[in-house]
Structure 1
Amino acid sequence: MTERLLIKALSGGKNTKIITLNGKKITKMPSAIGKLPGLKTLALQNNLIPKVCPELCNLTQFQDLKLREFYCEGNPLFLQWPEIAKQQENVWSLQEITSRFVINHLAENNPFLMDAMEWYPEIRSIISRRQTCAICGQYFITIWLECVQFVPPPKNWKISKNLQLVPVRVLVCSYKCFTQRDPNLFGIARV
């Protein structure tokens, strides 16, 4: 039954807008959904899916809102036991240290650094890759840790009434900031 529904959805190609596979006891998220760029609604509630397939990332970049509705309640998608992060010394390269200093002082409109930028255009290229730490708000180049934070979904999203939080990718610049995080912010690690 599940296979027939999936084959029918795939035959629709980019015109397929909705896939509903609720309560089908599937144990793996169908990777074929990556072939459906027009998909707007994916309902996979009450199955046995332990992890999100990589193909879904192309459709669920929440910032782009390609997939407008995603229902996954009733699946064991999250581990119940958090992994404890071991403290690591922040050993940054000289380029990272210098980049952080320059970027954070440029934000203060430091005239000395503004003039130096005129003479060294390669600095602009390096600092254009800057990111902002979700904890301290400072700029950095090299990501220390990629995290996920669970936040309430925007009001204009069509979602299940049971879904109260959605995961959002955030970046942290150091272990020091990671230890000062909000309780709804979790580090992503390969275990």
Structure 2
Amino acid sequence: MAERLLVRALKGGKSTKILTLNGKKITKMPSTLEKLPGLKTLDLQNNLIPKVCPEISTLTQFQDLKLREFYCEGNPLFLKQPVNAVKQEEVWSLQEITSRFIMNQLAEKNPFLMQAIEWYPEVRSIISQGRKCAVCGKSFLTIWLECVEFVPPSKNWKISRNLHLVPLRVLICSYKCFNQRGPNLFGIAQV
């Protein structure tokens, strides 16, 4: 069935705008997508596709596709395998230690620091770039780990009915917090 739909799309060539192969038990992405330069919508939801085909991942032929919509939910494209970080804690710079202390004291409304910070615009400028750790909630300046958390989408988003989780970028202040993260929070690493 999927083969017939793909052959029909290929016969359409440049005039093919939509390709729907939803729930066809496909185990790999069609490598012939490069032959559909007019494709606007590609629906590969609810299949058994474990990885992106080389034509898409290398972005050579895929750059020529002018896709506006790409649906791939319900495929095992992401591996959710938690790994503990065995890296030792990094030694923070004096600026990082001081910035963390000041930002966390300001969050607790320390009256002495709130008054003192008014006199030092360069300090205000530095700590204005601070971020909050997604695990402990404390502020940090430069040392951080980039992670992704899978959360349910907001009710007012226009999304596919099959989309149950969306990835959100979150930052973590240290490996200590990384090892205390929740089950839906994953580190981003190059393998």
Are the equivalent residues in 1 in contact too, given 2:85–2:175 (CA < 8 A)? no
TM-score (norm 1): 0.66
Counterpart check, 1:100 vs 2:100: yes
- Determine the structure 1 residue equivalent to 2:130: 130
Aligned in 2, Cα 1:84/1:4: closer, same or farther, shift over 3 Å? Answer: farther
CA pair 8-169 structure 1, distance change in 2 beyond 3 A: farther
Shift of 1:190: 1.2
**Residue 26 of structure 1 pairs with residue 30 of structure 2:** yes
- How far is 1:188 from its partner? 0.6
Contact 1:70 1:159 in 2 (8 A): no
Amino acid at match of 2:131: Q
User: Structure 2 vs 1, CA of residues 80 and 147 (structure 1 numbering), >3 Å: closer, same or farther?
Assistant: closer
Structure 1 residues 173 and 77: alpha-carbon distance in aligned structure 2, compared to 1, 3 A threshold: same
Q: Is the 8 A contact 2:85 2:179 kept in 1?
A: no
Greater Cα radius of gyration, structure 1 or 2: 2
RMSD value, Cα: 3.6
SS at 1:162's partner residue? coil
Q: How many Å separate the matches in 2 of 1:164 and 1:127?
A: 36
Structure 1 equivalent of residue 178 of structure 2:
178
Shift of 1:184: 0.7
**Sequence identity (%):** 61
1:65-101 Cα distance to aligned partner (Å, 9 max, x none): xxx9752125442136555422321311111110000
For residue 169 of structure 2, what is the amino acid of its counterpart? R
Residue 161 of structure 1 aligns to a residue whose secondary structure is: coil
Q: Aligned in 2, Cα 1:153/1:49: closer, same or farther, shift over 3 Å?
A: same
8 A Cα contact 2:20 2:42, kept in partner: no
Write the distance in 2 (CA, Å) between the matches of 1:140 and 1:180.
17
Q: 1:163 to 1:96 in 2, by over 3 A?
A: same
Give the AA of the match of 2:116: A
Contact between 2:89 and 2:176, CA under 8 Å: does it hold in 1?
A: no
1:77-116 mapped onto 2 (5 Å cutoff): 77-79=77-79, 81-116=81-116
Note closer, same or farther for the CA distance 1:184–1:81 as it changes in structure 2 (3 Å cut).
Answer: closer
Q: Cα gap change, 1:27/1:82 in structure 2, threshold over 3 Å: closer, same or farther?
A: farther
1:40-66 deviation line (CA, Å, top 9, x unaligned): x764434857358699xxxxxxxxxxx
Gaps of 5+ in 1: 10-18, 31-38, 56-67
Q: How far 1:119 moved relative to its partner? A: 2.3
The worse-fitting range, judged by mean Cα deviation, of 44-53 and 89-98 is 44-53
Counterparts in 2 of 1:51-66, with a 5 A limit?
none
Distance in 1 (alpha carbons) for counterparts of 2:121 and 2:153: 40
Which one-letter code corresponds to 1:26 in the other structure? P
Maintained 8 Å contact 1:143/1:171: no
Shift of 1:155: 1.2
How many corresponding residue pairs? 162
Deviations 1:130-155 (A, max 9, x none): 11111111111124211111111111
Question: TM-score, with normalisation over the residues of structure 2?
Answer: 0.66
